Amino acid sequence: MEDKVNLEKMKKDMYLTVHLNALAVKTRIRDHLHQCKFELERLKRSYRATINAEHKLHANTQQSIKWQEPGILKLVSMYNAPPYAIMPHIIPRDGIFLLDVGLDDDTMVNWCVEEEAQLMHERAVIQEWMLAEWGAIRGASNNAVWKKKVQCIPCTWPVGESWGPSDGALLQAACDQAQSSFRDEDDAESVEGEEGDCEEDLEYGEIGDKELMDAIEDIALVDEYRCVRIYYTVATNGVLEELDMVSS
């Protein structure tokens, strides 16, 4: 109870209240000064870095200019005193670096004329290259056509025109093979399904039609690839030449 009473008295004490308020204001002022100091230091570092960079750039530029000055002055001296020649108008050394060279010239350089001449030269070169390439392509295309002497390679001794079975024999063999396969399947199915019903007969008929269509397609394919006939006759000087090629 006594502590609470003392606390209430301290809260109502005007001197203590003013003193604490002043201390709080002083603390805030000190914190703001610290922050301001840090901001100033950061600004100083940034400003110092910028100044150093500009100083280095300025120093490098001055050094580059001074490095070129002796060469320019030497050229001026050579122009002013050429050996065994009439002395022209003297170029003053003082103030030569203050001249606006090229800013007041009335005569403009004809760059477009030079560019036009260069483009004309390049156009002629490209056209010649294109003509050469086109000639090479046409020559290759003409040489790619078969010559009559290499279209047919003659035999060392007389041999017939036939290379094997004829078209009719191949077609008959394909038909016989298809019919024999049908007969074999018919015999196998007749032995296995003697008591088969109408549904089995229907399935048999469907399977037979499908295989028959496959056989017809095979026969048509063989006929298509074997229908190209090449006829050769014996020409003059014992050279065989191709006379006709019929594709149906």
The per-residue pLDDT of the chain, averaged, comes to 70
Close Cβ partners of 133 (under 8 Å, ≥ 6 residues apart): none
* Residue-level pLDDT at 131: 94
Report yes or no on 124 lying in a domain: yes
The residue among 80, 95, 123 that closes a domain is 80
Count the helix, strand and coil residues of the chain and give each as a percent rounded to the nearest 5: 70, 5, 25
Query: Are 163 and 235 found together in one domain?
Result: yes
Percentage of the chain surpassing pLDDT 70? 62
Query: Are 138 and 153 found together in one domain?
Result: no
Query: Are 171 and 229 found together in one domain?
Result: yes
Report yes or no on 107 lying in a domain: no
* Residue-level pLDDT at 130: 94
Does 146 or 8 have the greater pLDDT score?
A: 8
Report yes or no on 31 lying in a domain: yes
CB 242 within 8 A of CB 152: yes
Residue 83 — pLDDT band, cuts 50, 70, 90? low
Query: Are 127 and 66 found together in one domain?
Result: no
Report yes or no on 191 lying in a domain: yes
Report yes or no on 85 lying in a domain: no
What domain count does the chain have? 3
Please count the other Cβ atoms lying within 10 Å of the Cβ belonging to residue 96.
Answer: 13
Convert 132-151 to b/e letters by CB count within 10 Å (16 or more is b): eeeeeeeeeeeeeeeeeeee
Report yes or no on 102 lying in a domain: no
Least-confidence region, from 75-84, 149-158, 187-196 = 187-196
Tens of pLDDT, residue by residue over 10-53, are 777 787 887 787 888 888 887 877 777 778 787 788 888 888 88
Could you tell me the residue range of the domain that residue 128 belongs to?
A: 115-145
CB 208 within 8 A of CB 184: no
SS3 55: helix
Query: Are 120 and 198 found together in one domain?
Result: no
Dump the DSSP string for 99-144: --TTTS--PPP-HHHHHHHHHHHHHHHHHHHHHHHHHHHHHHHHHH
Structure tokens belonging to residue 26: 């002083």
Report yes or no on 86 lying in a domain: no
Query: Are 199 and 127 found together in one domain?
Result: no
Report yes or no on 96 lying in a domain: no
Query: Are 167 and 238 found together in one domain?
Result: yes
